[in-house]
Homo-oligomer: A and B are copies of this chain.
Amino acid sequence: MVPDKVVDEISANRQRYVEELSDFLLIPSVSTEPDHAADIRQAAIWVVNKLQKLGFHVELRETARHPVVCGHLVIDASLPTILIYGHYDVQPPDPLDEWITPPFSPSIRDGHIYARGATDNKGQCLTYLEAMEAMLSVTGRLPLNVKVLIEGEEEIGSPNLGPFLQENQEYLQTDVIAISDGSQFASGIPAITYGLRGLSYLEIQVQGPRFDLHSGTFGGVVANPIQVLAEMMTRLKNSDGTVAIPGFYDHVQELRPEERQELSDLPVDEVRVKNYLGVDQLVGEPDYSMVERQTARPTLDVNGIWGGFAGEGAKTIIPAKAGAKVSMRLVPNQRAAAINERFKSFIHSIAPSTVKIQISEMHGSDPVLIDRSQPAMEAAARAIEFGFAKKPVFIREGGSIPIVGLFKEVLDCGSILLLGWGSPDDGAHSPNERFSLEDFHRGICSAAALFYSLEESYRT
């Protein structure tokens, strides 16, 4: 499927690709922190330069916050078009003291490259660019027309990409979209993802007295915002692990029996998962397997909490304020907007009148299911088998890629390929995030193969 000389070229340049990735990972392009605006721009320009070297027509397109890198390379108007999506922004690196080597000083050990963004998404995104470089360099052309869209707001929920897609609907028309922003099912078990959970993310602020009080003088007469918040957080879940917000499960689509069978056929090692996480026990909704709970069932987590004195030693106060960040993972056919409303109603209904509550909606996205019967799916399976020497499994993923829903709706493209090259234990969003150099190489091979297999499947 892939010309031998392309494979040889990719193998010959393995070391240089790693050096390029390392260079990309040096840039602390944290999208959620305003302090990093200059780094964000630097990372965007890094991508622009790379695409320009490949001969792309490329532009840095401004948005209300972080720019989008947008480019295209037309080979032949009669060929089908592939749109490559990725993101150059990364999660914040904290807690910093848990990194063995600093998050923005890429370090190679045990066959992995360690840095924030290694797998999510700089490393995986780069596989497509290196694959195209290899094809262009030895064959002088690509098997398809290509559009590239690499954004800088994925980790903050892509707030400006919806409008951007709307405005550039025509320019972005494509036959298929390839996204590598997830992972294999497990290390060595490549996968095609056909489902994604959605996300509702909210922040709650509790205001008690108008300033911090001496707990000796006022202990016993004033509602403590931390305790009020703790109680509300407790009431969000039932004792069996289900979410207690009324109506939360109303539109949840149950798994089909065939899907449950398929998921139960996956090689899952709960003991290995527990060892990896360092926990004695897993939790969750009764009557669903671990994989089902991770990918096809909705859930709720408190992502952060704060209030009062957290420094060294003791401070005897009743704090004026406390707050928490709460997110819910959604599944078909829940809708983020409706869940946000239910969440807010519930919190307001249980909030005592002794405090003032403020709730803000952070980013959200709807869950997605992709049609598995289309030819592009089969082409992707062949490409992965070529790169990883193994047939992929078909899975749902627990995380959210808000853009997938947008692509489906705004670009009216149902042919979205979610092909993760990394491993679930790469630590995306965690300290010591990493990407296996072997997976990086396999990803580049699979990306190249995808161009040829898609071209074949569209030709026939």
Complex formed: what's the CA distance from A95 to B311 in Å? 11
> Which residues of B have CB within 8 Å of A213?
277, 429-430
Question: Which of A70-78, A121-129, A221-229, A443-451 sits within the interface?
Answer: A221-229
- Asked if A157 lies at the interface with its beta carbon under 8 angstroms from chain B, I say yes
- Asked if A332 lies at the interface with its beta carbon under 8 angstroms from chain B, I say no
Q: Is there an interface contact between B217 and A424, defined as CB atoms closer than 8 Å?
A: yes
Q: Is there an interface contact between B222 and A283, defined as CB atoms closer than 8 Å?
A: yes
> Beyond A216-B400, A219-B300, A303-B315: 11 further Cβ-contacts under 8 Å?
A201-B314, A208-B279, A210-B277, A221-B283, A221-B294, A223-B281, A230-B233, A279-B354, A283-B354, A305-B310, A316-B400
Interface residue from B210, B234, B306, B400 paired with A310 (Cβ < 8 Å) = B306
Complex formed: what's the CA distance from A353 to B304 in Å? 22
Q: Is there an interface contact between A314 and B215, defined as CB atoms closer than 8 Å?
A: no
- Asked if A33 lies at the interface with its beta carbon under 8 angstroms from chain B, I say yes
- Asked if A385 lies at the interface with its beta carbon under 8 angstroms from chain B, I say no
Complex formed: what's the CA distance from A432 to B216 in Å? 18
- Asked if A162 lies at the interface with its beta carbon under 8 angstroms from chain B, I say no
Question: Which of A109-117, A259-267, A321-329 sits within the interface?
Answer: A321-329
> Which residues of B have CB within 8 Å of A8?
none
Interface residue from B208, B209, B309 paired with A94 (Cβ < 8 Å) = B309
- Asked if A199 lies at the interface with its beta carbon under 8 angstroms from chain B, I say yes
- Asked if A431 lies at the interface with its beta carbon under 8 angstroms from chain B, I say yes
Q: Is there an interface contact between A279 and B214, defined as CB atoms closer than 8 Å?
A: no
> Which residues of B have CB within 8 Å of A156?
313-314
Residues of A within 8 A of B (CB-CB), count: 96
> Which residues of B have CB within 8 Å of A353?
280-281
- Asked if A92 lies at the interface with its beta carbon under 8 angstroms from chain B, I say yes
Q: A234-B234, A280-B354 are in contact. Are A220 and B294 (CB under 8 A)?
A: yes
Q: A222-B282, A279-B208 are in contact. Are A310 and B304 (CB under 8 A)?
A: yes
Q: Give A328's nearest chain B residue, CB to CB.
A: B219
Q: Quick one: CB contact mask for A371-391 with B, threshold 8 Å, 1 for yes?
A: 000000000000000000000
Q: Is there an interface contact between B34 and A312, defined as CB atoms closer than 8 Å?
A: yes
Stoichiometry (number of copies) = 2
Interface residue from B91, B224, B397, B431 paired with A315 (Cβ < 8 Å) = B91
> Which residues of B have CB within 8 Å of A297?
220
Interface residue from B221, B299, B314 paired with A293 (Cβ < 8 Å) = B221
Interface residue from B92, B319, B432 paired with A311 (Cβ < 8 Å) = B92
Complex formed: what's the CA distance from A156 to B318 in Å? 17
> Which residues of B have CB within 8 Å of A226?
233, 302-305, 324
Q: Quick one: CB contact mask for A270-301 with B, threshold 8 Å, 1 for yes?
A: 00010001111111110000100110010111
> Which residues of B have CB within 8 Å of A318?
301, 303
Closest chain B CB from A49 CB (angstroms): 28
- Asked if A98 lies at the interface with its beta carbon under 8 angstroms from chain B, I say yes
Q: Is there an interface contact between A294 and B32, defined as CB atoms closer than 8 Å?
A: no
Can you list 28 A-B pairs, Cβ within 8 angstroms, ordered by A?
A: A32-B311, A92-B315, A98-B212, A156-B313, A197-B216, A201-B316, A210-B277, A211-B430, A213-B429, A215-B429, A219-B299, A219-B327, A219-B398, A222-B277, A226-B304, A229-B230, A229-B305, A230-B305, A231-B234, A280-B354, A303-B308, A304-B308, A309-B325, A314-B325, A314-B327, A315-B325, A315-B429, A317-B430
Q: Give A91's nearest chain B residue, CB to CB.
A: B315
Q: Give A279's nearest chain B residue, CB to CB.
A: B209
Q: Give A95's nearest chain B residue, CB to CB.
A: B212
Complex formed: what's the CA distance from A329 to B220 in Å? 9
- Asked if A189 lies at the interface with its beta carbon under 8 angstroms from chain B, I say no
> Which residues of B have CB within 8 Å of A214?
399, 428-430
Closest chain B CB from A309 CB (angstroms): 4
- Asked if A80 lies at the interface with its beta carbon under 8 angstroms from chain B, I say no
- Asked if A102 lies at the interface with its beta carbon under 8 angstroms from chain B, I say no
- Asked if A427 lies at the interface with its beta carbon under 8 angstroms from chain B, I say yes
Q: Quick one: CB contact mask for A415-447 with B, threshold 8 Å, 1 for yes?
A: 000000000100111111000000000000000
Q: Quick one: CB contact mask for A349-383 with B, threshold 8 Å, 1 for yes?
A: 00001110000001100000000000000000000
Closest chain B CB from A397 CB (angstroms): 7
Complex formed: what's the CA distance from A345 to B301 in Å? 28
- Identify which of A218, A327, A353 gathers the most chain B CB atoms within 10 Å of its CB: A218
- Asked if A237 lies at the interface with its beta carbon under 8 angstroms from chain B, I say yes
